[in-house]
């Protein structure tokens, strides 16, 4: 995943768990916009609005967007992004590693 300073992102292999999507999930391409969530915790700390997900969603055809998000752990100086794989109660996490 690449989060750009202009509020857009691109992904490969995300989002996971789309049973209706065709093709292998690790090759799935996505793009859209991202923003930081509210401080009250009502939403994802990092909200993702996919405009396009290969073999699944295209806002030009479907309208609207596909929503997802990421959670944040760590400190302000060294934040770490993650998502849950499946049921959050199982605590299976997908951690994202920062590349500079």
Query: Domain ranges in the chain?
Result: 2-96
pTM summary value: 0.82
Q: Where are the beta strands (DSSP E) in the chain?
A: 2-3, 8-12, 29-36, 46-53, 57-58, 66-74, 79-84, 93-96
Asked if the model's pLDDT at residue 87 lies above 80, the reply is no
Q: CA-CA distance, 50 to 65, in Å (whole number)?
A: 6
pLDDT band at 43 (very low <50, low <70, confident <90, very high): confident
Q: CA-CA distance, 31 to 58, in Å (whole number)?
A: 10
User: What is the tens place of the pLDDT at every residue in 4-41?
Assistant: 999 999 999 888 778 788 888 888 999 999 999 876 76
Q: Whole-number mean pLDDT of the chain?
A: 87
Residue 39 has what pLDDT?
A: 65
Give me the DSSP letters along 54-82.
Answer: TTTEEHHHH-S-EEEEEEEEE-SSSEEEE
Q: Which residue has the higher pLDDT, 46 or 25?
A: 46
């Amino acid at each position: 995943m690449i989060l750009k300073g202009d509020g857009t992102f691109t992904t490969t292999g995300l989002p996971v768990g789309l049973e209706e999507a065709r093709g292998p999930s690790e090759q799935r391409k996505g793009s859209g916009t991202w923003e930081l969530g509210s401080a009250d915790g009502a939403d994802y700390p990092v909200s993702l609005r996919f405009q396009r997900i290969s073999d699944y969603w295209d806002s030009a055809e479907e309208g609207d967007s596909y929503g997802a998000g990421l959670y944040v752990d760590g400190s302000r100086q060294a934040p770490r992004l993650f998502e849950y794989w499946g049921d959050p109660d199982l605590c299976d996490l997908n951690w994202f590693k920062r590349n500079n």
